[in-house]
Amino acid sequence: MTEKEIFIENRQSLFCYYLPTDKISNFYWSKLCIVVEEADESVFWMEVIKDATLSNDNLELERLLKESIEITKIMTKAKSSTFLNKH
């Protein structure tokens, strides 16, 4: 790694280190909102596939649906906790 690359890398690290806390939490909050929305949409589409009997492997679909619901619950809880800590 050249000195220039090291300097750029260190400068980027310092920039992240000195970001105001509120900007980091706002960034984290917005990413959590996207994750919850995408997880919820995944559950929706798996339910559509299940209801329309479009899957060739119902056991796998059920497993994935349960897992997606759990991920949605976990991420929704993380989002709620972040919101409460933020305000």
| Tens-place pLDDT, residues 6-36 | 445 544 544 454 445 555 577 888 888 888 9
**Contact between residue 39 and residue 66 where contact means Cβ atoms under 8 Å apart:** no
The domain locations on the chain are: 20-86
Per-residue pLDDT tens digits for 38-85: 999 999 998 999 999 998 999 988 998 999 999 999 989 988 887 776
The answer to whether the beta carbons of residues 79 and 33 sit under 8 Å apart is yes
Tell me which of 67 and 5 has the higher pLDDT. 67
